[in-house]
Amino acid sequence: MKRLQIALIAALAITTAAFAQDKAAQPTGQQGAQAGSQQQGAPSPKQAKTKEEYAAYNKVVTLTDPVALEQGANEFAEKYPESELRGYLFVRTAEMYQQAGNGEKLLEVGRKALEFHPNEAVVLVMMASELAEKTKETDLDRDERLAECNKYAQQALANIDAIPAPPQMTADQFASAKNQLRSDAYASMGVAAYKKKDYATAEQHFVKALEVFPNNPDKEYTMLRLTVALDKQAKYPEALDWAKKTQAAANAKPGSPVKDLADQEVARLTPLANAPAKKPAAAPTAPATVPVTPK
């Protein structure tokens, strides 16, 4: 599957850091600022306790290189072990590793971020997608990784509505971004089920992924996987229908890597879907009663 769309996800992702940065205003009073109200699943608007902590946080959170950002986050956490802002820096670092395409570091830092913000939906979806895509059948910990994928995806779905709206997005853009997160969460569970050869469950998740975000500009990836999941279940007419839809979506995007695969599926499924239905085998005839003449 393609990586999460950077444009939409980044807009949601930076909300966490920006939200913290805005709320980490210069501390008031010797006791520091108190946490504000918190939506279920969303990070609360924490504040710095000192001017020095606030300045250190701002210096790190604006970094754009993920390696430097990770180093800065670790140093900040070590220097301010009681800071309520530590988690935001690890969330931001995970997001930057995702944008850089470094999946292993995304998982490593993402797990650390979830220690602070276990319901951070953007990180949860990114990690679920990474685990689904990169887990191989030959991995000794395959089942554990796929179970972790499902856990993150389900947890994300339960918390997407709690994401605070980014001020730079319109209401329609925000709704679209959240639906993309939902779609990617379902698609990740579909891939996990497919890799466990549970094609019926994979089908259900892929269908849901397409339903929650029908305007996904990269929907042909999920459509192709749905086609193959149906093919694996010998649902040839349904599979052919989705293969043609995938083909049309891929044709609309010149150079799409899905096009050749969609063409192959259409060619393979056409004769199978159009083959005459086999008549059910006749029930075996009960053997005739053979009279027995007593001796």
Which one has a higher pLDDT value, 1 or 13?
13
Please say if the pLDDT value at position 44 is more than 60.
Answer: no
Name the nearest CA neighbour of 163 among 28, 11, 290, 42. 42
Q: pLDDT-based confidence at 286, cuts 50/70/90?
A: very low
Report the alpha-carbon distance of residue 7 to residue 4 in Å, rounded: 9
Task: Read off the pLDDT of each residue in 256-275 and give the average, rounded to a whole number.
Answer: 94
| Tens digits of residue pLDDT in 221-257 | 999 999 999 999 999 999 999 999 999 999 999 889 9
Amino acid 43: pLDDT: 41
Per the CB < 8 A criterion, the answer to whether 178 and 184 are in contact is no
Q: So where are the chain's domains? A: 6-217
- 183: number of Cβ within 10 Å: 24
- Contact call for residues 49 and 83 (beta carbons, < 8 A): yes
Interval 145-192: pLDDT, tens: 999 999 999 999 999 999 988 888 899 999 999 999 999 999 999 999
* Averaged pLDDT for residues 255-265: 94
User: When comparing pLDDT for 142 and 32, which is higher?
Assistant: 142
Dig out the tokens for 104 from the structure.
């292993």
* pLDDT tens readout for residues 3-30: 444 445 555 555 544 444 454 444 444 3
How confident is residue 39, by pLDDT bands cut at 50, 70 and 90?
A: very low
Q: So what's the pLDDT on residue 269?
A: 97
128 — pLDDT class (breaks 50, 70, 90): very high
Measure the CA angle with vertex 164, ends 163 and 165; round to 5°.
Answer: 115
The pLDDT of residue 25: 46
Q: Tell which CATH classification among 1.10.490.10, 1.25.40.10, 3.30.300.30, 3.40.50.150 matches the domain 6-217.
A: 1.25.40.10
Q: Using 50, 70 and 90 to split pLDDT, how confident is the model at 31?
A: very low
Whether residue 217 has pLDDT greater than 70: yes
pLDDT bracket for residue 41 (50, 70, 90): very low
- Look over the chain and give the mean of its residue pLDDT values, rounded to a whole number: 84
pLDDT at 2 over 90: no
